[in-house]
């Protein structure tokens, strides 16, 4: 029980850290209660986040055939990594694993709601669009307006291997679409014009050189 208690404290601490204005934190840098309990037995680890440009961020990720203990561990690690960043979503390729798994928690006020979605797919999109200033943990401190469907219906496999479906709106809709894009090798800067995209990519190349020197 001590482990459970520590874990809940950890989630609460990180939850407060992400309580900053939405535009100031990254979409990409991610539990109803039962999902949280499913993760409690795993000792979660913060994994390094890949920075764009990286060939692993451009790959089409493989579907998950079965929810193994390793994949549950990966989901727990990704949530830990996302809360630590802090961010509201993270996709497996961002930690160098080219499998179809995303994690999210877009709750700003209220108890955290960490989610892990295996093989997520958009099965319906609204005609209404919404524009949101997006960021990405793999493209630190760069933000740009991206227009996407305002609401989407998503189907996925949960951490217990059960198929789930939910309609997302608001920040959740933006986040789930942004993260699913990652599984198809697509970044939010791919929605921008070539000049802006190149400018951001050059900044990231410079950042990576600086980080390599440290």
What six digits make up the tokens of 147?
């227009």
Distance in Å, CB of 138 to Ni ion, minimum: 6
- Determine the 3-state secondary structure of 54 from DSSP: coil
Candidate ranges 9-17, 65-73, 77-85, 136-144; the one touching Ni ion (CB under 5 A)? 136-144
Which range, of 7-15, 135-143, 144-152, 158-166, touches Ni ion by CB under 5 A? 135-143
Residues 179, 205, 210, 214: which is the catalytic one? 179
Closest approach of Ni ion to the CB of residue 148, in Å: 13
> Which string of x and - marks every residue 16-55 that binds Ni ion (by CB under 5 A)?
------------x---------------------------
136 lies in the binding site for Ni ion (CB under 5 A): yes
Q: Cα torsion for 89, 27, 20, 114, to the nearest 10°?
A: -10
Min separation Cβ 58 and Ni ion, Å = 13
| Alpha-carbon span 150 to 156, nearest angstrom | 19
Task: State the minimum distance, in angstroms, from the CB of residue 3 to Ni ion.
Answer: 31
Segment interacting with Ni ion (CB under 5 A) among 39-47, 55-63, 71-79, 133-141: 133-141
Nearest CA to 73 out of 99, 100, 41 is that of 41
**Which residues make Cβ contacts (< 8 Å) with residue 41, sequence separation at least 6?**
3
Residue 21, Cα to own-chain centre: how many angstroms?
Answer: 17
Smaller CB separation from Ni ion, 14 or 174: 174
Check if 80 is active-site.
no
Task: List, edge to edge, every strand of the sheet that includes 163-169.
Answer: 89-91, 101-104, 115-125, 151-157, 163-169
Centre a 10 Å sphere on the Cβ of residue 180 and count the other Cβ atoms it contains. 22
Q: Which residue is nearest to Ni ion (CB)?
A: 28
Residues labelled as active-site residues: 179
> Which residues bind to Ni ion, rule: CB under 5 A?
28, 136
């Amino acid at each position: 029980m001590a482990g459970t208690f520590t874990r809940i404290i950890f989630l609460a601490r990180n939850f407060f850290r992400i309580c900053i204005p939405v535009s100031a934190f990254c979409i990409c840098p991610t539990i109803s209660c039962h999902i949280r309990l499913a993760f409690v037995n795993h000792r979660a680890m913060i994994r390094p986040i890949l920075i764009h440009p990286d060939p692993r961020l451009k790959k089409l990720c493989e579907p998950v055939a079965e929810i193994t203990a390793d994949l549950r561990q990966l989901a727990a690690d990704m949530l830990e990594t996302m809360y630590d960043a802090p961010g509201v979503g993270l996709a497996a390729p961002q930690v160098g694993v080219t499998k179809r798994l995303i994690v999210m928690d877009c709750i700003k006020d209220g108890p955290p709601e960490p989610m892990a979605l295996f093989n997520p797919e958009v099965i319906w999109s609204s005609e209404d669009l919404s524009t949101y200033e997006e960021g990405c943990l793999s493209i630190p401190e760069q933000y740009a307006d991206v227009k996407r469907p305002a609401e989407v219906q998503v189907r996925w496999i949960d951490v217990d291997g059960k198929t789930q479906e939910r309609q997302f709106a608001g920040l959740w809709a933006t986040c789930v679409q942004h993260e699913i894009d990652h599984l198809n090798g697509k970044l939010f800067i791919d929605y921008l014009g070539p000049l802006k995209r190149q400018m951001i990519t050059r900044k990231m190349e410079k950042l990576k050189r600086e980080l390599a020197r440290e």
